[in-house]
Amino acid sequence: MNPDQKMIILQCWDDGVTDDTRLTELLKSKGAKASFNLNLGLNLKERSYSFCYKEKKDVYRLARSELLQTYEGFTIANHCYEHPWALKISHEEWEQQVIDGRKALQDLFQQPILGFAYPYGQSDKRTAEVVAKAGHTYARSCENATPCTPTPNAFSQATDCHFHAPDFWERYQKAKETGSRVFYFWGHSYEFLSEEHWSSFSKTLDRINNDPETVWGDLPESLALANKVQS
């Protein structure tokens, strides 16, 4: 199959939590590319408590000093400086969160920060304009769409689905059948609650790797291409 015709697999993970250390090791061992949406204002000197997920797991943010090593070889994108609700803070505060988040990430990782993910998936036209103006090339929402490209609006970019979605493989198949250039999924590593979850995701990566009709792609380049080629 011509590599240009293969469906490109994109994935991104949010929040900069401690389970990302295991996730990035797993991804590296499988040769899978990924982008991580971080809130640098919440990665403090030490690991810090964030919240309890589904009353089952205490979630901790990585320490600032762990970030470079954890995410080496992956793409970094902006998830705001902290993790605010876009529609619950003032316009000025939102601008500050977006701009400060991007600057802090660029300063630390020394790579262009072009992607953005809305905290809690929340946005509207006005908050999206701020993200575009700050120098990002796309912003991911929490909406699902298959195919997810071409998107009607790069600042409200849907993904195909969440990694835990029960219809993950159906959507994967649908993306192929509709001739989509990409299949894009997302999640949080704190959602791995058991060894079974880790093993199931490892099998997901194997299945993608064993599919001759797909190839891992980089955010934001492959996404931009898929939106441009088809529009």
The footprint of Zn ion (CB under 5 A) covers 14-15, 119
**Minimum distance of Zn ion from residue 191's CB (angstroms):** 12
Give whichever of 33 and 79 is closer to Zn ion, judged by the CB atom. 79
Give whichever of 42 and 99 is closer to Zn ion, judged by the CB atom. 42
**Minimum distance of Zn ion from residue 231's CB (angstroms):** 28
How is residue 212 written in tokens? 């001759």
Secondary structure class of 9 (helix, strand, coil): strand
- Nearest residue to Zn ion, scored by beta-carbon proximity: 14
**Minimum distance of Zn ion from residue 16's CB (angstroms):** 9
**Minimum distance of Zn ion from residue 119's CB (angstroms):** 5
H-type alpha helices, the chain: 20-29, 67-70, 91-109, 125-133, 168-177, 195-209, 221-230
- The answer to whether 10 touches 187, Cβ cutoff 8 Å, is no
H-type alpha helices, 110-194: 125-133, 168-177
Element (H, E) at 147: none
Give whichever of 141 and 180 is closer to Zn ion, judged by the CB atom. 141
Give whichever of 165 and 225 is closer to Zn ion, judged by the CB atom. 165
How is residue 88 written in tokens? 């619950």
Give whichever of 76 and 208 is closer to Zn ion, judged by the CB atom. 76
Encoded amino acid at 198, one letter:
W
**Minimum distance of Zn ion from residue 79's CB (angstroms):** 5
Please tell me the distance from the alpha carbon of residue 152 to that of residue 140, in angstroms, as a whole number: 13
